[in-house]
Structure 1
Amino acid sequence: MQEYDTNFGFLYDLEKLRDMKEDYIMKERCIALDNSLSVGNFHDIDCADLFSELRVLQELIPQETNSALQVLQILKSLNGSFPKAEIAYRILLTVPVTVASGERSFSKLKLIKKYLRTTMSQERLNALAMLSIEKELAESLEYQDLIAEFAAVKVRKMG
């Protein structure tokens, strides 16, 4: 969590971003983010470009904007005017802070696999895992409607 906050905290907390007036602090944060998102000579973002884009964004982002998702929506509406900032915000919003959802998936998969052993295809195993993970949603479905829709699709294919 600390590493995530160190790398992405200044982008996530818009008050920090708005209040960051010293260039050297923002440059340090951009360099740290660039380093964390690079492997060897491959970089997802360029820290100098990101720094200059964020300087402009500080003035451009409306005061009523209060979430990183809203910032990403604004960036998308600007049609690629801030490509490095858009990449940074997309990564920020897709990196899971915890691994709880992954752990739940493996836990459910372990239960399903234990019960059915290895006698099924990968596709069926994935489908059963998804049903188990999304149990609440699956229980709310009207099965009679789904069966009727499935039957209607199959009839059209045969005819």
Structure 2
Amino acid sequence: MGIDPVFPMKRRGKRKRQFGESDCQEEILEAEKAFRVKYFFVLVDMAVTSLRDRFKELMVFKDIFGFLLSSGTLKSLSDNELEECCTKFAETFSLDGSSDVEVYDLISELKIMRFTLPNGVMSAMEIFGHVREVDCYPNISIAYRILFTVPVMVASAERSFSKLKLLKNYLRSTMTQERLNGLATLCIKKKLLDEIDIDPIISDFASRNVRRIF
């Protein structure tokens, strides 16, 4: 990072060194120890705790959607294991006993689709593209849509709040919710925004009111 590992020492008055006292750099050692205890260990603990929480979320995600993540995993499951995975998936996203996915139909569709998938390992997105192309597995299509819409981590939410502090300041206290949502989306998805050609949009907006052209 270009930062020299130098610990500044405060100026202290010299004192007479007693007989038998070792000549060591106590000030530097105290500064290094304070940095290690107050900053380094704290950052390491925060990083370890954050990574542990994220991995717990990923394991929960894998426990629910693991059988849909690749064709290799899907083909390696036995019929009983596949039924257990589908049942757990349906129970997780059921509301008042009803679910968007019919469990027994999903099991039957997956058993048939395993034999119709092309050879080689396919990712979840590739399987979903195959399902949409064939257009005869409605429950599998719904299951993969749920898979792609459930967020795995909370980084997007944290990024939204960090951007919100920049957008919603005291000078913009009267901003409407619709405008705030639009500006927040533009800031969060800046990479996609840079790929959009805004000249046609500006021309269309200006053509709606001639006075805006000048």
Give the TM-score, by structure 2 length.
0.63
Counterpart residue type for residue 73 of structure 1: G
- Partner of 2:205: helix, strand, or coil? helix
Distance 1:60 1:140, change over 3 A: closer
Determine the structure 2 residue equivalent to 1:14.
Answer: 71
SS at match of 2:130: helix
CA contact (8 A) 1:68 1:93 kept: no
| Contact 1:65 1:71 (8 Å CA) reproduced | no
Larger Rg computed on CA atoms: 2
Number of equivalenced pairs? 153
- Flag as ranges the 4+ runs of structure 1 deviating above 2 A: 114-117, 134-150, 152-155
Structure-1 separation of matches of 2:112 and 2:197:
50
SS at match of 2:174: coil
Structure 1 counterpart of 2:108, one-letter code: S
Matched, 1:124 2:124: no
Q: 88, 91, 107: which is aligned to 1:35? A: 91
Q: Deviations over 1:49-75 (max 9, x none)?
A: 111110001001112451111111111
Q: Are 2:209 and 1:154 equivalent residues in the alignment?
A: yes
Residues 85, 70 of structure 1: CA spacing in aligned structure 2 closer, same or farther, 3 A cutoff? same
Q: 1:76 to 1:65 in 2, by over 3 A?
A: farther
Does structure 1 residue 67 correspond to structure 2 residue 132? Answer: no
- Look up the match of 1:56: 112
Q: Where in structure 2 are the equivalents of 1:43-122 lying within 5 Å?
A: 43-64=99-120, 66-79=122-135, 81-122=136-177
User: d(CA) in 2 for partners of 1:60 and 1:74?
Assistant: 10
> Contact 1:7–1:32 (CA<8 Å) still a contact in 2?
yes
Q: TM-score, normalised by structure 1?
A: 0.83
Deviation string 1:87-114 (CA, Å, 9 cap, x unpaired) is 1111112211112112211221132112
Contact 1:112-1:128 at 8 Å conserved across structures: yes
- Between 1 and 2, higher relative CO (CA 8 Å, sep ≥ 6) is seen in 1
CA contact (8 A) 1:10 1:17 kept: yes
1:132 Cα deviation after fit:
2.1
